[in-house]
Structure 1
Amino acid sequence: MEAAILTLVSQFKAYAGDDGSASTLSRDEFHRLVASQLPNFVKTACDPDAADRLMSSLDENGDGELTFAEFWQLIGKLAGKQGGFAS
């Protein structure tokens, strides 16, 4: 599990910061990350409008960017569905 956490953190950092803050994902960074790293888990990865809606649902403070904590919600939801823990 430690390796998985390190991978998640490093991938977040690899995509964050291209368009601004190195500690958040902008809209475009989020789109690139989801399309590249989660195409089979996020079925809407190639649909920009659906990806925007997904990002908005995760963006708790409404600033148009995702912190790692906000992004982590997506990882938790995807892991729960994959493991049969979420409805």
Structure 2
Amino acid sequence: MESAIGVLVSQFKKYAGSDGSPNTLSRDEFRRLVASELRNFVKNAADPTATDQLMSSLDKNNDGELNFLEFWQLIGHLASEHGGFSQ
């Protein structure tokens, strides 16, 4: 599990560092991350409107960016669904 966490953190940093703050994902960074890394887990991952809606639902402080904890909510949700734990 430690290696999986390491991969998640490094991928977040890779995309977060492409423009703006290195600690948050902008809308464009989030779109690129989802389309490239989560295309089989996120429905309509290539659709900018769908990813914008997804990002808005995760952006709890409404600052237009996702910090790691906001992003982690998505990972937890996807892992639950993939593992058959969602209701």
Task: Name the TM-score, length of structure 1 as normaliser.
Answer: 0.97
Is 1:37 aligned to 2:37, yes or no? yes
User: Which aligned segments of 4 or more residues in structure 1 are displaced greater than 4 angstroms?
Assistant: none
SS in 1 for 2:39: coil
Partner of 1:8 in structure 2?
Answer: 8
Partner of 1:79 in structure 2?
Answer: 79
Percent of paired sites with the same residue: 71
Task: Name the TM-score, length of structure 2 as normaliser.
Answer: 0.97
| Structure 1: unaligned runs, 5 residues or longer | none
SS in 1 for 2:28: helix
Q: Output the aligned Cα RMSD.
A: 0.6
Q: How many residues align?
A: 87
